Structure 1
């Protein structure tokens, strides 16, 4: 059976590329690391791979806005190659800074939603957030999330709040299947469990777009959105880090819980490898 080939692209300021490579290797894939400048020199390199991954970090120092400069490099021939990859059945993964890049490059949420209708911006708390979060899987056909209902991973970001321009756009994210993951509270409740669609119809003064309270929703994302995907489900971007939950001992409560054979982050990568091997 062929090995799943993964291209991991880094830029100045990327700092999670090695962990992400490690996650892919543990899952049985064959990852290759490449600097964005080398890819710009030869955009067709992507044709040799099954999955493109944009790892976490602070590319270009988050100058202008997180992911903005990196996204500016994903234009022209590069953007054409990414879209061709998805059209031929491949996948794209953006973790943390990778989600910011995908949104600002216009690859997410995609479909009929214009790129300027959704963004990822500063946390509602006004500060950097580093904590473990629990999420509910909303897009069960996404290759990275197969056979998963809830998942736990850490977040570490200052600009992770997913914001829709207006209620119409937020409703389109919901109905179009663009919401891949939601933050949930201690009782596993999330936006869709609390009447989110009904809430959209309420007057603005009575509406709370964040729904799930801080710190369960660590950045104040609209509708508690933790991850977005395109209409195919094969372009996924998420703020939490699967690359930081590859071993049971990564979880702060590992000594207080029953032993696990497959940590959530590793399950995430293995799900994708199984899908693209099929």
Structure 2
């Protein structure tokens, strides 16, 4: 059984939701602590949403220097699947595992709603069970979800098919409607929407989030 670790930082809010989603989707959830220097032998890592270290300085800026992130960065460099959700996406950008940055929403208001996304690529460890071009529904809840990058980076993201999801109806002003991206290798994915909130039909109208966890399970199974 795949073992998927979920990191808890001070201020993390969605770690328990992510652990539950991992369990409901048939993998073994493993809690990881921000101050640890070990990933406890997990096969993949999730950096969940919240307000790590109170979002002081910038969102994710302090979490990037947590001891566990040294291990995450090293493991990602060796090909381990890493998923950053919302604040986790911000941490990945601050860690330079993904390019660009997340800034205040264009309208300067917090947004919380079900959001339509279009799948732009399924060539990643976290999206291989999706159909390219499909539209899915995933929760968003953020105040700093406006993805920005320079023109050269945006061109590279498009040329290399590193844009994983685009918003269908942009809720925050992100450039090129970007909701999620991947690194060149395809093992690190960051997105602002929350797939862990869309795995159980009892608590959400959509279960499209399950495909994230089924994707990484399929990838890990095929690798073994």
Instruction: Work out whether the TM-score is over 0.5.
Output: yes
| Shift in Å, 1:276 | 0.9
Task: Structure 2: give runs of 5+ residues left out of the alignment.
Answer: none
SS of equivalent to 2:39: helix
Number of the residue aligned with 1:71: 64
Task: Structure 1: give runs of 5+ residues left out of the alignment.
Answer: 110-117, 185-215, 255-259
Number of the residue aligned with 1:32: 30
C-alpha separation in 2, matches of 1:127 and 1:230: 29
Number of the residue aligned with 1:175: 159
Number of the residue aligned with 1:224: 177
The RMSD of aligned alpha carbons is 1.8
Q: Does the C-alpha gap of structure 1 residues 95 and 47 become closer, same or farther in structure 2, counting only changes over 3 Å? A: same
- Deviation sequence 1:153-188 (CA, Å, 0-9, x none): 0100000110012x222111211222111111xxxx
Corresponding residue to 2:119 among 137, 156, 159: 137
| Shift in Å, 1:140 | 1.2
C-alpha separation in 2, matches of 1:33 and 1:8: 5
Q: TM-score, normalised by structure 1?
A: 0.74
- Indicate yes or no: 2:79 matched with 1:56: no
**Residue correspondences, number:** 219
Q: TM-score, normalised by structure 2?
A: 0.91
- Deviation sequence 1:10-49 (CA, Å, 0-9, x none): 1111010000001111111111112201x1xx2xx22611
| Shift in Å, 1:150 | 2.2
Number of the residue aligned with 1:103: 93
C-alpha separation in 2, matches of 1:78 and 1:145: 23
Moved over 4 A (4+): none
Q: Does the C-alpha gap of structure 1 residues 86 and 104 become closer, same or farther in structure 2, counting only changes over 3 Å? A: closer
| Equivalent pair of 1:137/1:181 in contact (CA under 8 Å) | yes
Alignment of 1:1-278 (within 5 A): 3-37=1-35, 39=36, 42=37, 45-46=38-39, 48-73=41-66, 78-79=69-70, 81-109=71-99, 118-148=100-130, 149-165=134-150, 167-184=151-168, 216-251=169-204, 254=205, 263-278=207-222
Could you tell which deviates more after superposition, 223-232 or 87-96?
87-96
| Bigger CA radius of gyration | 1
Structure with more of its chain in helix, by fraction: 1
| Equivalent pair of 1:144/1:272 in contact (CA under 8 Å) | yes
